Structure 1
């Protein structure tokens, strides 16, 4: 209600913003993740856009031996490096993550590919590490041509769990709706095993 009446005026832009990175990092550290279902036949995961490791934090509760490589922005990699272990590492490039894992059982990405300027090239690069399975979540798919738009969210809605501050800001970034045909064709050598609609996203607006 407060945000509706007193919309934050200060705007920060882009996923390299220090304040945004710090918010996601702190919320990830504080968040008590619930256990996911066990990762069957998965020993290594390349998590594209995995923030400060929130998906690993949930997965390890049921699959404690899984090895997890997060590919993120340089700013997030620098901030999250103190969370790294012998089973969780952070990398700026896909090939670095794949080399550390040795082999990749699963490529996982939740809501990140839409913010990548060259999304189709990135998808092909992820396919090139030859994971057994690729799992995409929250990918905006267009029936026609791809299109770009400016998305806004509240700073407090970024990262897992509740807000850690009473002072909020607006975050702006560009995202891409991908052509369905181009998205599927980028996965040469793979077949679609399951698909469904994306859930509604909390605290976002498009313009």
Structure 2
């Protein structure tokens, strides 16, 4: 973010607030920014991977990165009903959007990787969702930007509309976005991965106070 933009946000904060991830304006912003985004780097995580269930994958941002080095990779995004409805026009025989985890897993068949970046903290029951994802029995799970706390707690988080989605802003008028976020107990999060073992765990460098994990099927 430029210095001028930071100063403008501090002196002239937006007055309009939109609520939650189902908001049509937020969905449209993420959708359009994803279409316009052109990744320019490889992604070692997906090397040799054939199928990915991307939990909270928006309009397919991560697929755009993955297909640079794996053109034939099959990618199933699980998202909110509003995002699925908007992004379905981007679907192909290798990229599809689903509202439910079981639907995505059925389409993929065998799941090599479950990927989730900054999403699990926004679902109503994070631990039950983790258990459902593990029941798919992927070879590996990769989690990024997981807010970890000594115990589970909730807070209201606020972001700028233009900060949602990849790349530069498309918004002509800045707004605030407000939604609930859950901090997750580390012990409970790890225990929810029954049948899996931790292979990596460290602070996530992209968001303060969050952790990144990788699990492998036992």
Q: TM-score range by the shorter chain?
A: over 0.9
What residue is the counterpart of 2:161 in the other structure? 155
Stretch deviating more after TM superposition (180-189 or 36-45): 36-45
SS in 2 for 1:194: strand
Calculate the TM-score normalised by the size of structure 1. 0.94
Structure 1 runs (4+) deviating above 6 angstroms are none
Equivalent of 1:113 in 110, 117, 120 = 120
Stretch deviating more after TM superposition (76-85 or 192-201): 192-201
What residue is the counterpart of 1:139 in the other structure? 146
Deviations 1:93-126 (A, max 9, x none): 0000000001100000000000001110100000
What residue is the counterpart of 1:205 in the other structure? none
Equivalent of 1:53 in 51, 57, 60 = 60
For structure 1, which runs of at least 5 residues remain unmatched after alignment? 203-207
CA distance in 1, matches of 2:55, 2:159: 21
CA distance in 1, matches of 2:204, 2:47: 24
Matched, 1:94 2:87: no
SS in 2 for 1:195: strand
Deviations 1:114-142 (A, max 9, x none): 00011101000000000000000000011
Answer yes or no: is the 8 Å Cα contact 2:16–2:176 preserved in 1: yes
Answer yes or no: is the 8 Å Cα contact 1:36–1:58 preserved in 2: yes
Aligned residue pairs, count: 201
What residue is the counterpart of 2:213 in the other structure? none
Q: CA deviation at 1:165?
A: 2.2
Answer yes or no: is the 8 Å Cα contact 2:43–2:65 preserved in 1: no
Answer yes or no: is the 8 Å Cα contact 1:35–1:62 preserved in 2: no
CA distance in 2, matches of 1:13, 1:56: 27
What residue is the counterpart of 1:125 in the other structure? 132
Q: CA deviation at 1:41?
A: 3.0
Stretch deviating more after TM superposition (26-35 or 44-53): 26-35
Q: CA deviation at 1:5?
A: 1.1
What residue is the counterpart of 1:62 in the other structure? 69
Q: CA deviation at 1:3?
A: 1.5
SS in 1 for 2:70: coil
Matched, 1:179 2:191: no
